[in-house]
Amino acid sequence: SSELTQPLSVSVALGQTAKITCAGDYVGSKNVHWYQQKPGQAPVVVIYRDINRPSGIPERFSGSTSGSTATLTITRAQAGDEADYYCQVWDTTICVFGTGTKVTVL
């Protein structure tokens, strides 16, 4: 089954750009979705199908893929972006989550 590896943590200065990677053998051939989870809250999708933003998600959030790595980019990072972020794919019928990345805004 798929394994999705993310960096444990990413730090970004206020107003700067953060990039969170998600690496796995099947990333290049499957849609990748990204979730933001703040403490005590349920996850919320910020990017679906690699590059699409749900309504209500700021344009500062964008997704991309290259080879076997997907990337979530947060531009002009704000204090409110501090959260855990998870990537996710469907491995045939099984849902696989990435290991998760804690984003700290300095």
What is the footprint of other proteins within residues 74-103 (CB under 8 A)? 86, 88, 90, 93-100
Whether the CA torsion 73, 15, 55, 4 is positive or negative: it is positive
5: its two tokens:
């590896």
Stretch that binds other proteins, among 18-26, 48-56, 60-68, 75-83 (CB under 8 A): 48-56
63 near other proteins, judged by CB under 8 A: no
CB 57 within 8 A of CB 33: no
Please state, as a whole number, how many other Cβ atoms lie within 10 Å of the Cβ of residue 34: 26
Among 10, 22, 35, 74, binds other proteins (CB under 8 A): 35
**Which positions lie near other proteins, rule CB under 8 A?**
31, 33, 35, 37, 41-45, 48-49, 54, 86, 88, 90, 93-100
